[in-house]
Every structure is written in structure tokens, then in C-alpha cells.
Structure 1
Amino acid sequence: MKGLFDKIGTKTCCSTMSKSDKKKYNVAMGNVLDMKTEYKMVQITGKLKLIRDSEKFLFFEYYNRIYPTIQNFDKSLFKTVVLDEGAVGPLSRGADVMAPGVIKYQNQSVHFKKDDVVGIEILNQGIFAIGLCLIDFEEMLLKKEGPVIEVYHIKNDMLDQNLI
């Protein structure tokens, strides 16, 4: 999938995040938002929202699923899949993560389930992208080919650079 944040038009709405929205995020993510801090919710489309504090974007919500930004990724909250440096080019051009790349470093990746939100780490470089698992880890090992993770957000896209 081409990244969500490659070419974003103008935002449709920006408002202060309500206490009930903060509670929703805290229940879903494990108390990640301070209830006393003011956060902004930026509505991009009917399916895409961004959450930011005064400095940077923290999360995005796409089809009612919450994802961290690369800058706000926490390995204690989300699983991580490791790929080698050869994945940077294809990911930067909009490719999804394919099974052979994950299988190569399966011992360094956390086993994931279908619909898990994961960070995609480039070996010795850190988190490079955020995506959604399309299949279970075990199914990937059996199939050994095809797309495994749909990528929504990559390093240096408009969201990562705070250009939205």
C-alpha cells in the first residue's frame, strides 16, 4: 500500500481532544495520554485522524484502529518485526512487507497475530515504519511468500516530518 502520509491535502478539522477521547486512547493503549495535558485531534478524512501534543504527532487513527507514530513508538506497547537494510528502498516506494524479509530475521522478530499493529525495524537502524499485520506469524512461516504487513507510515513521510 502506498503510505497514508505521502500526499495529504488540507486537514478538515482540528480540535482540542476531549476527556472521553483521552480515556478511549488510554483504555486501548494503556494510559499513554496525560489527562491534564492538552492534545489536538486533527481530522484528515472520515477514516483518518491524527493526535498531537504541542510539539509532535503522537498517534494516528485509521479505520478506528490506533497506531503510534514512528517518533512515539514504544516497544513495550507494540510488537516489532526486523528487516534488513535492503527493505528501505521498497518500503520508501510504497511496498508492503513481504514474508521472505520477515522470515530471514524471524528469531529477532516478535511473533504477531493478524490485525496486530507493529513497528518495522531496520536492522541496526531502529523503527522505520508502522503497519498492520495481514496474517499470523505461523501462517507466514507456512506460506513463505506474499504480503505480511500493510505499511501505513514510514520514516520521513509528511507525518514523520510534522508537515501536516
Structure 2
Amino acid sequence: MLKPDSLRARLTEAFPDAFARDATNLSMWVDQGHVRCHAGPDNLNFTVEYKLCVSITGWTLPSIMIWVTLIDWLRAQQPDLLSPANSAAAIPFEVDLVSADEVDLGFDLALTEPVRVTRREDGGFDMRVAAEPDPLFPDAAPLLPSGPLLKSIWAPGLNPVQIVPDEPEA
């Protein structure tokens, strides 16, 4: 499974003060996973489907900064969660209001990773996780029709957080 590591890297890159200095503030685990087989006569293709549970503790920045970063990551990694048909319940979350300045938050993502498996002539197998075939928005498209690509996030009184776009897995 590649997407949990990709999301962790994106969040750590976007918020190094929160996660790079104390990795325990960002926990992830997989729940309700299963493998859906698509095997045919010439391949053993399958899809790994799972719920990624993410827990962020000690969060002191505006929570909207997490959501914008997550949605930007999802548009390339799991765009179906952003479609109007799935948007009503696409990202369930919970927030524990620890204090006026700190929250713990958790959210779940229904993720899929299609794996292409082909048999080699020597009897072995070649396997690769396929990239999302049809992103909701191409990387060249702005986040909003009239605006630039997401490059940073800021909140009043805070330094901007620079975002480097994540390349989809090939």
C-alpha cells in the first residue's frame, strides 16, 4: 500500500513543525481492508481496498489547513472521494476540543490501490500499483477556475506553509 506513506509525506512536508519534530502527532492505521480479485487468463490483477484511519493530536493551527492539504492530495490520489456523488460522506471525521487552542482530530478515507500483475515467461510475476487513471482535476488545472495552483496555505498570524505538489505514483 503506497497511499498511506504518500499522505504522511504530504502532511509532514506541509506541516513540518507539527509532524516532522514529533512523529507521534500523526498516526495512521488500516481498517476494514480487503483484496478484490480481477484475475484473468493472463494476469492476477487485484485491487487493495481499505479504510485509512488518520489521527492528528496536539493540533494548534486552524483545522482548515489540514482539510485543504488533504483535498489537494486526494485530487490526484483518490479523486472519486471528491466527486459530487461521494461528497456527502466522503471524509468522515471527529474532533476532540482539547482546549481553546488545541484539538485532536481524526478522519477516515476509503482508499483503493489497483495492482497490475502479469506472469513472466520465467514463471515469476511483475507487479505494479497503478496510478489513478482519471484524476478529477489535471495537475495543470487551478484549484479554483480563476485562481492559481495551490502553492501555500496561511492563516492570520502564521507564516505561510509552502506546498510542493505530490507526483502520482506511476
Q: Please give the range of the TM-score, normalised by the shorter of the 2 chains.
A: under 0.3
What is the TM-score when the length of structure 1 is the normalising length? 0.24
Structure whose CA Rg is larger: 2
- Give TM-score, length-normalised by structure 2: 0.24
